[in-house]
Amino acid sequence: MTRPIGGPAEPGETAEPPLTVLLPAGWKKPRGYANGMAGRGTVVMTGGLIGWDADEVLADGFLPQVEQTLRNILAVVAEAGGGPQHVARLTWYVRSVETYRESLADLGPIYRATFGRHYPAMALVEVANLVEPKALVEIEATAIIPD
């Protein structure tokens, strides 16, 4: 399922995709994330972003914080000329994995409203605390924007 970067385009493709999903032979396709991504270009790394707006007003609740955090990631990536399709990796730090699990049905539509159906490589880690005391989620991103 892996197509090399710079390899020939599939029939009907007009340009090389910004990233290639890496799926080893025989592995089941994951739902909602990729096992790996590859790309060439400008690498953009965000800091750990949280769910506050430009005035540093934190959204109220886990799902609103996730939505704002994803929008913040896309704002930083846009500063480098990229979009959601260029995000190769997301690392989520949550205060409660249980809250995350309980929110999955509502989280999907929020994710798709910001990132569409682009699912980069992801990891999720429960942490005891975050620097901002009322933050419930912090996400780091890596994007690769083609030159």
- The pLDDT tens digits for 91-144 are 999 999 999 999 999 999 999 999 999 999 999 999 999 999 999 999 999 999
- For 85, the 3-state DSSP assignment is helix
**What is the structure's pLDDT at 8?**
38
**pLDDT at residue 9, rounded to an integer:** 39
Residue 21 has phi, psi (to 5 degrees) of -75, 135
Q: Percent of the chain beyond pLDDT 90?
A: 86
Ranges assigned E (strand) in 57-136 = 87-94, 121-126
Residue positions counted in the chain: 147
Q: What is the mean pLDDT of residues 22-45?
A: 94
Predicted pLDDT of residue 12: 46
The mean per-residue pLDDT over the stretch 60-66 comes to 98
Residue of 1 and 139 predicted with greater confidence: 139
Output the pLDDT for position 17.
Answer: 67
Residue 112 backbone zone (phi > 0: left; psi -120 to 50: alpha; other: beta): alpha
23-33 mean pLDDT: 94
